């Protein structure tokens, strides 16, 4: 069998090989995220934070929201466990027959969704951003851009399946590189053409970029002996199994898209630029969480799937607990820096061209409040994968529904009642993420005893203490460093001056009070140094 001797592989991967793989993935994902940030920076420079930026940001988000809500996470979360089960028990041939059938069905659904989205583009804009109707032409222009971008979900759907196949064969690097390619295309377009071809040109370049995410994986699929053959069999046992868990998985993945919809809807009535401010702040927030969360979750998911199928409860619980601990320890310092330095971060990234200091203030406020949910969001990414590996989509579904209700209620309170504007919308999303994380932690421990232990809780508290200390240091230093000058270079210097002591305090305090992940990392570094 292709994936036999799982136990031995797991033991090997627990050491340097696993760490190396995750490190490579993190570096690649970081490069992709940085390039994505550069892409957004170029858009912000061209259009500032006004009507045009609102339109292109909305037109970009809606197809992705559609994809996430119709297919999205369900593709990888249902495909990977079943595909791996076929590989483990029935061999490659049967696994590839399932993959061919799955690809055909997913493609059919994506095509239908894309066509419907193009037909009802104007109606979608009216529903999702009703405030646009108050500005003449804003709804119509956004709808025309939407019709260009909706076919992107077809290529994205097939690209997701390709990612699942390659990861199941142990190839993690290429799937991580696809965003580098697509962002590279967009950056090249924006640098060469700028706004010469208008918003329509930007939309077409985005469509091409997303299509390339599929095409760059095809040579590697061929390398592993994958040859797509059209099959459309809804009676296939694997498809039936995927269908049974797809709906709860989809609903559980709706929290982020629906929170974005809630933010877009409330934000559209806050004036030109509010939707863009939320989008750009959220992009930076997701980038920093995603670099590490996605590297860890993409690496552990196939392994969790195999551990779940082998009923190895102790190892499953250990891997889940270890993954949560590491992601919390990593994101803790990021959270501290973003809370303390949200405005100078936005200034360095976006404040140039048409993006003004006033735009920085609004977007920085959104980023500050988003950052409260960083650790919760990262933990959700890990725990959702744990449940999907157990073929349990119902639990993430229920917790996501709770999160969506919390997000809407908090948004109505903070924006409608307390008039907090974009900050209130961002804080509503943060509270939602923390609520979902708490629910998922409680529920995974019910499924696999040993995930939550007294030592685990104490360790999380220690991480939060270190995060608070790092925040205090960064904020205190920023008070003194804020007068060193303006401009991108001086603001970047200011960020470095503030971040350096905060990181040192975080790592030093974490080591002193015994944060497990920091002490483990320190021990490994000493071992490397001694060699």
Per residue in 202-235, pLDDT tens? 999 999 998 999 998 999 898 888 888 888 888 8
Q: Looking at residue 115, what is its pLDDT? A: 93
Higher pLDDT, 34 or 139: 139
Higher pLDDT, 323 or 21: 323
* Residues 403, 469 within the same domain: no
pLDDT digits (tens, 9 = 90+) for 459-494: 999 999 999 999 999 999 998 887 777 778 888 899
* Residues 381, 482 within the same domain: no
Round to whole Å and give the CA distance between 251 and 396. Answer: 8
As a whole number, mean pLDDT of residues 41-64 equals: 83
Domain boundary among 452, 467, 488: 452
Round to whole Å and give the CA distance between 71 and 337. Answer: 34
Domain assignment present for 101 = yes
pLDDT digits (tens, 9 = 90+) for 226-284: 888 888 888 888 888 887 777 776 666 666 667 777 877 787 778 777 878 888 888 88
Contact 84, 391 (CB under 8 A): no
Domain assignment present for 351 = yes
For the cut 60, the answer to whether the pLDDT of residue 15 exceeds it is: no
Mean pLDDT of the chain: 83
Number of H helices and E strands in the chain, helices first, is: 22, 0
Round to whole Å and give the CA distance between 524 and 476. Answer: 32
Round to whole Å and give the CA distance between 128 and 323. Answer: 36
Domain assignment present for 363 = yes
Q: Looking at residue 108, what is its pLDDT? A: 92
* Residues 414, 466 within the same domain: no
* Residues 299, 241 within the same domain: yes
* Residues 464, 410 within the same domain: no
Q: Looking at residue 76, what is its pLDDT? A: 66
Q: Does the CA dihedral 95-96-97-100 come out positive or negative?
A: positive
Contact 241, 98 (CB under 8 A): no
* Residues 143, 99 within the same domain: yes
Round to whole Å and give the CA distance between 336 and 345. Answer: 13
* Residues 447, 476 within the same domain: no
Look up tokens 């296939």; give the residue.
Answer: 236
For the cut 50, the answer to whether the pLDDT of residue 4 exceeds it is: no
**What total of structural domains would you count in the chain?**
2
Residue length of the chain:
531
* Residues 373, 469 within the same domain: no
Domain boundary among 429, 452, 475: 452
As a whole number, mean pLDDT of residues 102-117 equals: 91
Residues 402, 405, 406: CA angle, nearest 5 degrees: 85
CA distances 108 to 103, 155, 246, Å, are 9, 12, 16
Higher pLDDT, 91 or 249: 91
Round to whole Å and give the CA distance between 231 and 397. Answer: 30
* Residues 110, 215 within the same domain: yes
Over the Cα atoms of the chain, what is R_g? Answer: 23
Q: Looking at residue 20, what is its pLDDT? A: 61
> CB neighbours (10 Å) of residue 329?
26
Contact 469, 485 (CB under 8 A): no
Stretch (H or E) spanning 234: none
Higher pLDDT, 34 or 121: 121
Domain assignment present for 23 = yes
Domain assignment present for 156 = yes
Higher pLDDT, 419 or 345: 345
Domain assignment present for 392 = yes
CA distances 231 to 219, 476, 508, Å, are 21, 62, 57
Percent of the chain with pLDDT over 70: 89
Round to whole Å and give the CA distance between 247 and 397. Answer: 9
Residue 227 backbone class (left: φ over 0; alpha: ψ -120 to 50; beta: rest): beta
Instruction: Give the structural domain span for 496.
Output: 453-531
Q: Helices marked H in 71-91 — which ranges?
A: 73-89
Round to whole Å and give the CA distance between 142 and 136. Answer: 11
Take residue 245 and report the two structure tokens written for it.
Answer: 């868990």
pLDDT digits (tens, 9 = 90+) for 423-469: 999 999 999 999 999 999 999 888 878 788 888 899 999 999 999 99
Domain assignment present for 126 = yes
Round to whole Å and give the CA distance between 347 and 239. Answer: 49
Round to whole Å and give the CA distance between 172 and 295. Answer: 9
Q: Is residue 316 classed as helix, strand or coil in its secondary structure?
A: helix
* Residues 348, 497 within the same domain: no
Minimal CA–CA distance to 453: which of 516, 529, 366?
A: 516
* Residues 437, 497 within the same domain: no
Q: Looking at residue 170, what is its pLDDT? A: 76
Q: Looking at residue 13, what is its pLDDT? A: 44
Take residue 517 and report the two structure tokens written for it.
Answer: 């992940």
Domain assignment present for 1 = no
Round to whole Å and give the CA distance between 513 and 393. Answer: 37
* Residues 364, 490 within the same domain: no
Q: Looking at residue 10, what is its pLDDT? A: 37
Domain boundary among 403, 431, 452: 452
Residue 236 backbone class (left: φ over 0; alpha: ψ -120 to 50; beta: rest): beta
- String of DSSP letters for 242-306: HHHHHHHHHHHTTHHHHHHHHHHHHHTTS-TTHHHHHHHHHHHHHHHHHHHHHHHHHHHHHHHHH
Kindly state the DSSP code that residue 135 receives in the 8-state scheme. Answer: S
């Amino acid at each position: 069998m292709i994936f036999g001797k799982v136990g031995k592989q797991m033991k090997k991967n627990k050491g340097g090989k696993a760490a190396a793989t995750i490190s490579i993935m993190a570096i690649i994902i970081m490069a992709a995220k940085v390039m994505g940030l550069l892409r957004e920076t170029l858009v912000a420079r061209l259009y500032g934070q006004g009507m045009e930026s609102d339109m292109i940001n909305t037109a970009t988000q809606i197809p992705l929201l559609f994809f996430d809500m119709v297919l999205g996470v369900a593709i990888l979360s249902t495909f990977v466990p079943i595909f791996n089960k076929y590989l483990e028990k029935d061999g490659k041939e049967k696994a590839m027959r399932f993959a061919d059938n799955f690809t055909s069905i997913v493609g059919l659904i994506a095509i239908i969704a894309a066509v419907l989205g193009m037909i009802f583009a104007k109606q979608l804009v009216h529903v999702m951003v009703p405030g646009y109707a108050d500005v003449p032409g804003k709804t119509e222009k956004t709808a025309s851009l939407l019709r260009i971008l909706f076919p992107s979900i077809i290529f994205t759907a097939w690209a997701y399946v390709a990612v699942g196949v390659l990861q199941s064969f142990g190839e993690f690097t290429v799937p991580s590189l696809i965003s580098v390619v697509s962002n590279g295309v967009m950056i090249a377009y924006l640098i060469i053409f700028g706004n010469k071809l208008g918003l329509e040109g930007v939309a077409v370049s985005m469509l091409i970029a997303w299509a390339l995410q599929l095409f760059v994986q095809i040579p590697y699929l061929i390398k592993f002996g994958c040859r797509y053959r059209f099959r459309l069999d809804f009676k296939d046992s694997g498809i039936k199994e995927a269908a049974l868990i797809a709906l709860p998985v989809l609903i559980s993945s709706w929290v982020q898209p629906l929170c974005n919809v809630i933010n877009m809807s409330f934000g559209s009535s806050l004036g030109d630029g509010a939707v863009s401010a939320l989008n750009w702040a959220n992009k930076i927030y997701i980038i920093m969480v995603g670099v590490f969360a996605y590297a860890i979750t993409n690496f552990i998911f196939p392994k969790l799937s195999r551990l779940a199928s082998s009923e190895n409860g102790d190892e499953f619980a250990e891997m889940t607990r270890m993954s949560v601990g590491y992601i919390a320890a990593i994101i803790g310092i990021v959270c501290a820096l973003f809370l303390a330095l949200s405005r100078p971060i936005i200034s360095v990234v976006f404040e140039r061209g048409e993006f003004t200091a006033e735009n920085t203030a609004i977007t920085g406020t959104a980023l500050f409040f988003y950052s409260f949910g960083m650790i919760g969001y990262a933990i959700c990414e890990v725990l959702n994968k744990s449940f999907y590996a157990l073929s349990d989509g119902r639990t993430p579904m229920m917790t996501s529904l709770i999160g969506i209700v919390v997000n809407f209620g908090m948004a109505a309170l903070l924006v409608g009642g307390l008039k907090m504007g974009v900050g209130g919308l961002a804080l509503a999303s943060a509270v939602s993420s923390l609520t979902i994380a708490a629910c998922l932690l409680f529920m995974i421990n019910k499924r696999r005893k040993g995930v939550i232990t007294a030592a685990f809780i104490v360790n999380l508290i220690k991480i939060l203490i270190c995060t608070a200390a790092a925040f205090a240091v960064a904020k205190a230093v920023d008070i003194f460093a804020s007068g060193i000058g303006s401009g991108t270079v001086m603001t970047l210097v200011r960020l470095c001056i503030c971040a350096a002591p905060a990181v040192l305090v975080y790592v030093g305090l974490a080591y002193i009070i015994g944060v497990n992940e920091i002490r483990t990392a320190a021990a490994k570094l000493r071992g490397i140094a001694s060699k």
